[in-house]
Amino acid sequence: MKYLRDQHGLQQFGLRLRHLRTAKGFTQESLAAAAEIEFSQIGRIERGVINTSLSTVFVLARTLQIDVRELFDFSSTT
């Protein structure tokens, strides 16, 4: 089976995360601390470098106090 990687989708997700994070007043460091994940992982997700797990997506949504669907609303990303 071929490994699937949608680079455009990963970049869109990262931009959306960055937008929501800053709108909620989090720095990368503060979001990482609140979500109990590595600080560097936030930057890698936002840059579209890593294909993060669904578990991490759920944790980020809970930490940002948003519905997980908001992270996938790419129409709102500028």
Q: What is the pLDDT of residue 36?
A: 97
Question: Can you give the pTM of this predicted structure?
Answer: 0.91
Interacting residues of 59 by C-beta distance below 8 A, sequence separation 6+: 35, 36, 37
- pLDDT tens-digit profile, the chain (78 residues): 677 889 999 999 999 999 999 999 999 999 999 999 999 999 999 999 999 999 999 999 999 999 999 999 998 654
Measured CA to CA in angstroms, residue 53 lies from 32, 41, 50, 57, 75 at distances of 15, 11, 9, 6, 22
CATH fold label, 7-76:
434 Repressor (Amino-terminal Domain) (1.10.260)
